[in-house]
Structure 1
Amino acid sequence: MIDKLVKGVAKEVTKGIIKDINKIPKTLEKEITNSLLGQAITQVEELFIKKIILIITKLLGVELKKAKDVDKALAEIDKISGREFEEFLAKVFKLLGYKVLLTQEKGDFGADLVVQKNSVKTVVQAKRYKGNVGVDAVYQVVGALGYYKADKSMVITNSKFTTAARELAAPNKVQLWDRDDLKSLLEKM
């Protein structure tokens, strides 16, 4: 996992998202170099996850320092287009070590992203909405499961889900990530 995270950060450095590799803490660099095992890796992973969250917020052009900044980041997400939300999520999954396929805008067979880590393939339906996301999103991603021969499915939104969407998702084992889940991710810095 550490190697994948290091490669992810290295890619972002080469793309210019992280302007200065020296901003990665020296102690972290030393721990990675020494290839520590056991609990030390957990600490390293935690530091890297915090660093990745910082990178994600930079992708949005928002720096998070306190709780009100998390709301500001979510407000920025609310302003972008649906396709930009899909592209943002693709970058997030890549930073987290997933192989990512961003599907075409039209005729995507119910998946905006197909992500894979290890041998687990997940189809993702992304919904950047102002209102609640209904059962159609769940129908779409359930259909995508078979089409893309995926193991898991999920719907991610900047909004909330209707009760009906939650009821349909449960027996179909569709993971639902709503605004609160996105907020929790950003607040864990």
Structure 2
Amino acid sequence: MECLGPKCAELLLQWLRDRAAEGSGGPSPGGEGDRDRGRTVQGMLWSSVPYNDEAPAIRSEAELEGAFEHLEYAVFRRFENQLTRAERARLDNTIRNVLYKIERYAARLPGPEGPEVERRRRLIQEAVAEAREKAERLRLQARRADLKLAQLDSLSPEGFEEFVAELFEAIGYEVDRVGGTGDEGADLRVTRNGLRGVVQCKYHKKGVVGSPELQKFLGTIHHTGCHKGFFVTTRTFSLAAERFASDHPIELVDGPRLVELVREAMGPGATKEPEPAWF
């Protein structure tokens, strides 16, 4: 368990003074009450022990707390980070192993303690199942986006919009398709971690996107009350358009950037295909 800040340092220093006083046989600077306080602080600072993956079983409450801390960290790292296939497999094994050991430990506890430990274990197990289902859904969306990436030169504008929607979903956004008549330049609305964004999809086979289109899009961002806008195209942007976007909440996504986003969604270890011929 990690303890940070000046308060922790003060408590640790007091505990060290108490231990030194006990070794010399003399009273601690603060008296008997401070010595008892030091013992209490020691218990607070080291209420768990590091989890040992090689140990066959959990043997104490301190080891149990260490196992829960290790499990929560492993779950976070497994489902909130971009990992290689080997890293994912290693963390999956760790999660299964810790859950099994906690289940065995809970079964040996007397009275109401066992059911409480099992309740904590089940909550984490359910969170793992939910995170795994979400990760698999995003993985499939990323694969569909990757397949469409090589076919963009043959997509219709509607197909391109669908591709962009799947791509934003694959990188963690919630997507609402609002394109069509009266869309006011907003083809998609996206949200992630409190950020509200609007996406305009422009399927261009020739030419560049200039600043007049971005000026109009800025009005859409303000009108929809969004924090940011994403202007997505298969082509490139003019220098004037790039300068305009740098001064406003607009992210430009051109052909090469689309490839980068698909690779990001696929994760480490994805096969690097030749870049599409349309840029």
Would you say same fold, with TM above 0.5?
Answer: yes
Residue type of the partner of 2:193?
Answer: N
For residues 97-176 of structure 1, what are the structure 2 equivalents within 5 Å? 97-131=172-206, 132-176=208-252
Question: Structure 2: how far apart are the matches of 1:77 and 1:36?
Answer: 42
Q: Across the two proteins, how many residue pairs are aligned to each other?
A: 145
CA contact (8 A) 2:142 2:262 kept: no
| Structure 1 residues 160 and 119: alpha-carbon distance in aligned structure 2, compared to 1, 3 A threshold | same
Say if 1:50 and 1:168 are closer, same or farther in 2 by CA, change over 3 A: farther
Matched AA of 1:41: F
1:87-127 deviation digits (Å, cap 9, x = unpaired): 22222223334232212323211211111123210011111
Q: Are the counterparts in 1 of residues 185 and 220 from structure 2 also a CA contact under 8 Å?
A: yes
Match of 2:256 in 1: 180
C-alpha distance 105-36 of structure 1, shift in aligned 2 (>3 A): farther
Corresponding position of 2:171? 96
Please tell me whether the aligned partners of residues 197 and 229 of structure 2 are also in contact (alpha carbons under 8 angstroms).
yes
Q: CA deviation at 1:40?
A: 5.7
Counterpart Cα distance in 1 of 2:136 and 2:216: 33
Distance 1:121 1:137 in 2: 21
Structure 2 counterpart of 1:77: 152
Which 10-residue stretch deviates more, 105-114 or 38-47? 38-47
Q: Report which structure shows greater RCO (CA 8 Å, sep ≥6).
A: 1
Equivalent-residue separation in structure 2 for 1:94 and 1:185 (angstroms): 11
5 Å-filtered alignment, 1:33-48, equals 36-38=71-73, 41-44=76-79, 45-47=81-83
Local SS of the residue matching 1:46: coil
Q: Distance in 2 between matches of 1:140 and 1:53?
A: 35
Alignment TM-score, normalising by the size of structure 1: 0.64
Q: How far off is 1:43 after superposition?
A: 4.3
Residues 102 and 136 of structure 1: is their aligned pair in 2 closer, same or farther, counting only changes over 3 Å?
farther
Q: Provide, for residues 134-170 of structure 1, a one-character-per-residue CA deviation record: whole Å limited to 9, x for no partner.
A: 2233123201111111011111122211111111111
Q: Return the letter of the residue paired with 1:92.
A: L
| Mapped partners of 1:183, 1:77: distance in 2 | 11
Partners in 2 of 1:158 and 1:128 — Cα distance?
Answer: 6
Contact 1:156 1:178 in 2 (8 A): yes
Instruction: State the Cα RMSD in Å.
Output: 2.9
> Contact 1:78 / 1:128 at 8 angstroms: preserved in 2?
no
| Distance in 1 separating the partners of 2:213 and 2:255 | 15
- The answer on whether the counterparts of 1:109 and 1:143 sit within 8 Å (CA) in structure 2 is no
Q: Identify the structure with the greater helix proportion.
A: 2
Percent same amino acid at aligned positions?
Answer: 29
Match of 1:13 in 2: none
Assess if the C-alpha contact under 8 Å between 2:138 and 2:169 holds in 1: no
Which structure has the larger Rg over C-alpha atoms?
A: 2
Equivalent residues of 1:169, 1:176 under 8 A apart: yes
Judge conservation of contact 2:141–2:166 (CA < 8 Å) in 1: no
Gaps (5+ residues) in structure 1?
1-34, 63-72
TM-score norm. by structure 2 comes to 0.45
Change (3 A) 1:171 1:79: same
The 3 A distance-change label for structure 1 pair 36 and 112 is farther
Name the aligned partner's letter for residue 215 of structure 2. Y
The 3-state SS of whatever aligns with 2:252 is strand
Cα 1:184/1:93, change in 2 over 3 Å: closer
1:162 is aligned with what amino acid? S
